[in-house]
Amino acid sequence: MVTPINSYGRNSLRRRSLHEEVADCVRTMIIEGELKEGQRINEPELCQRLDISRTPLREALKVLHSEGMVTIEPNRGAWVATITAEEIREHFEIISTLERRAAELTAIKASEGDLARLSQLQEKLERHHQAQNRHEYFEINQHIHRLIIELANNESLTHLHHQLMNRVSRGRYLAIGMQHRWDESVDEHKALLEALLARDGDRAGRILAEHVMHTGETVVKELEQQKKVG
């Protein structure tokens, strides 16, 4: 059940605008499949559920449109964007390359404090996996990937990665719905952290690139299977 935006706490030191909070909420609904690909977004219904007016929702939809998660047609409304298996494959190939380079750089540039943060996140990741908390696991997983990108300290890499990750987030969430892939993913994250703590950039880069491609291959297979069944 979606919590009304007015009930959400603000954890950031920067006071976030209402439309940013709405964008976060709608983005989660898309990622977790509550809003399906190709589905028309019913604005009045969503406003009522989130306890907001039309203005912040429309501003939020513009944000999601810029991220490629929503399609907006003037005078017609907004739809959840669709993405093909081939597009997913292409995006994951690029993300794999970006994250490989980021891991290599992070192994060199990260401070001891940064590595401690990654270790703490790994502990949380494993706890959520053990408890089968899919939503919480996904949030921490996203945090880890983005932190590694951030620690690489390369603005162009960060910008491109952000754009592509938004496009494949639904697929990545779908992948951890498959228990075997979820279990594999946790083990791959453990190996990645070990390589980063050892300051072994080559090994960390290889592990993360393979991890991303394994997820991409899982998502593509699932989408192709769904297409056959459909």
State the average pLDDT over residues 210-225: 92
Enumerate residues 6+ apart whose C-beta is below 8 A from 53. Answer: 47
Q: What pTM was estimated for this model as a whole? A: 0.83
Taking alpha carbons only, the member of 94, 204, 90 closest to residue 152 is 204
pLDDT (0 to 100) of residue 229: 67
pLDDT > 50? residue 8: no
Place of tokens 């964007």: 81
State the average pLDDT over residues 25-37: 93
pLDDT > 80? residue 205: yes
Sign of CA dihedral 147, 150, 151, 156: positive
What Cα–Cα distance (Å) separates residue 124 from each residue in 83, 116, 194, 221? 31, 13, 16, 29
pLDDT tens string 106-125: 999 999 999 999 999 999 99
Range of 81-85, 214-218, 226-230 with top mean pLDDT:
214-218
pLDDT (0 to 100) of residue 15: 61
- State the DSSP code for 32: T
pLDDT (0 to 100) of residue 163: 87
pLDDT tens string 66-75: 988 999 998 8
pLDDT (0 to 100) of residue 223: 82
pLDDT > 70? residue 180: yes
State the average pLDDT over residues 26-41: 94
Distance CA 170, CA 120 (A): 25
State the average pLDDT over residues 184-196: 98
